[in-house]
Each structure stands twice: as structure tokens, then as C-alpha cells.
Amino acid sequence: MNIAINTRFLIKDKLEGIGWFTYETVKRLCENHPEHTFILFFDRKYHEEFVFSKNVVPVIMYPPARHPLLWRIWFHYNLPKILIKYKAEALISTDGFIPLKLHIPTLNVIHDINFEHIPHALKRSVKNYYKKFFPKYAKQATRIATVSEFSKQDIVKTYSIDASNIDVVYNGANITYTPISEEEKTVTKQKYTQGKDYFIFIGSLHPRKNIPRLLQAFDNFKASDDSEMQLLIVGEAMFLTDEIKTTYETLAFKKDVQFTGRVSTEDLHKILGSAFTMTFVPYFEGFGIPILEAMFCDIPVISSNVTSMPEVGGDAVLYVDPFSVSDITKAMTKIANDKELRDTLIAKGRIQREKFSWDKTAELLWNSFQQCLKK
């Protein structure tokens, strides 16, 4: 069977949430099913590492789809034509975008629909495109996969999609993320925080990640706790908003806050594995991979008590109200001064993390695809 897959987020050294999902699942699908031919569609020159096996046919389709107008050209006009050219018999899209007129089975992975609830966080052109076309993409798909039960119910309610047509396909964590040695921790802390312990946030600096409240909570924690603790913010700075900048400038302890920008996966493993606690307090997440990555590194987690995050964290996380600066501050103070709590969360995290792996994700995605073919 000729199976087409939208892999436009596979960009060398620039993999983020959807990119990692695409990489980890598509790699396994291609390797685990040599009886099929997988036609991978890129929107720019691809790296050879993304040609996962001999049964992969890589195709570059221009223009690079990184703007609402170009999304329409790429998905609505060019992709249907090229699917016919390569005799594709089914399509898997890992980023929620699909052609509106397509007569082959289509599995659409919609990770979340945060833009329906937080539209102000996007540029107007992007917001308008998403709100116009994602309901259509959801209805056009033969079947939908999503990354949490929360996202499934959100799609069902918002787009009036039958729940039986949506499969939950949880994310996994990169096998790189494992506990690191005390020697490595010492070297890493010396490099980033002059040897001091630190809270860590990992993710893009998108408005829904709630960075201003995290900064305010950390500042309050420092004011009330005699601690040398620092805060490391690790993530792409493209969403470094005026609100984040303004909040940072008002901090009394801003010298103890470090913005690292984007780092390599190898460095990220060391930084995460050396952290005192993960502080991940967005107010909307379709899944929340950093929670899982921290658990695999034996790092305790403070996280939000909303959307999908309790689903991922189970009983292994110290939860907070992300809209309450004081609640986040209290959690930081509590975990900084309670070693028994930290040890308990780490132990529970070792159990909780076993529920998730990219092998399981790929298997669930393939099962969803098989259901898609039965329609």
C-alpha cells in the first residue's frame, strides 16, 4: 500500500512538539511495516536522517508552508494533485492540516485546539485561518487521532465530532531523557547557574505557557525564602512577548532568572537532569511533554491542574492553579523545603512514566490508521 504522510515539521535540529511526534511515530511506522511504501511530503529540502528506511519515498513539495496563504496553496491545491501523481492510497497528517477535497482515507492528528480558547495569543491571520479551517479539517478527516483524553473531549464538544471517531494516542518521551550522574549535574549547574540549584521551565515562550506568572511567583519565592535558587527558562524566544519582558524588568531578583534560548537535545538532557524541580505551569496544554521528560530524568514536577496536565502527571505531580501566582509560589516554597515530598514525587514519577513511550504511541497511531481504512 502507498501511504502518504505529511512530514513538513521534520526540520533538522529544529524539532519541537509536533516535530518530535512526527519523527518518533513516522520513523517507527516506516521501520515496523516494510510491506508498505511510505511517501513522506516535505515543504523544503529534507535531511537524509528523515529517510528512515528503504520503503520511504521522500518528496519535496513547494512552496514552504509557513504562512496562511501558503498553507492554502500547499494543502488545498498542491497536495491533492501530488497525491494522485504518487498513487497514494491513504494519507496521515501529523499536524492537523489536510486537503478539503480528498477521496482517500485520511487520518488527521489534531494535537489540541488551544486557539479556540486562547485566540489572542496568535497573529490575526493565523487565528482566522485556524478558526475557519480546523473545524473543516476535523469534519473532513476519515478519522482523528489526538494526544490526550482532554483534547479528545475538547474536539468532540467544540466541533461536534462523534467521540467514536477519535482515538487517543498519547505522546512519549525521547529515550535520551534519563537520570544523569552527580558529576554531570555539578558541571551543568556550574555552566548555567554558577553552581546553584534551579527551577526549570522548558517550552516555547508562547503566551499560554504562563511565563509572566511563573516569573512573579519565583520572585515572591525568593523574597520569602532564604535560598540561592535560580530559575532557568529554556525555549525558543520567538514568542518573547512584551508582557514577559515587562514582567522580567520589574523583578527584584531578575539576576537569578536565566533565559537560555533554544538548546540542543543533548544539552537539554543535561540541563533538565540537573534541575531541582520542573516548574511547568501553562494554562492550556494538549499533552505537556516536559512533565514526562522530567519524570524520566527523576526530576520532581510542579504543574498546572488544568486541561491535560493532570492526565499526564497522575499522582506524581504537585499541582497548582496556573492563574494564581500565590499558589505557584507556595508550591515552590513547599518543594524547596520538603525533601521527603521531592523523593515521593520522584518515586511516583518512575511509576507514572511507564504508561508512556513512543513505541506505544506508534502502535496506537497505527491501530488508529487501521480503523481509518475500515471506513
Cell of 62: 513547494
CB atoms within 10 A of CB 242: 7
CA distance 236 to 234: 7
Rounded to the nearest 5 degrees, what angle is found at the Cα of 332, between the Cα atoms of 330 and 334?
A: 65
Rounded to whole angstroms, the Cα distance separating 43 from 49 reads 16
pLDDT of residue 163: 97
Task: Provide the angle, in degrees to the nearest 10, between the axes of the packed helices 149-159 and 124-140.
Answer: 90
- pLDDT tens sequence across 283-340: 999 999 999 999 999 999 999 999 999 999 999 999 999 999 999 999 999 999 999 9
Say what the pLDDT of residue 238 is: 59
pTM of the model: 0.93
222, exposed or middle or buried, with CB in 10 Å at 0-12, 13-18, 19+? Answer: buried
Q: What pLDDT is stored for residue 239 in this prediction?
A: 57
pLDDT at 240: 62
DSSP for 285-305, please give it. Answer: -SS-HHHHHHHHTT--EEEES
Predicted confidence at residue 278, as pLDDT, reads 98
The ranges of the chain with pLDDT < 70 are 237-240
What is the pLDDT, as a whole number, of residue 197?
97
Strands in 2-6's sheet, in edge-to-edge order, are 56-60, 37-42, 2-6, 90-93, 106-109, 143-146, 166-168
Task: Spell out the domains of the chain, with CATH numbers in brackets.
Answer: 2-172+357-373 (3.40.50.2000), 182-355 (3.40.50.2000)
Residue 197 has phi, psi (to 5 degrees) of -65, 155
For 288: left if phi > 0, alpha if psi spans -120 to 50, otherwise beta; the answer is left
**pLDDT score for 54:** 97
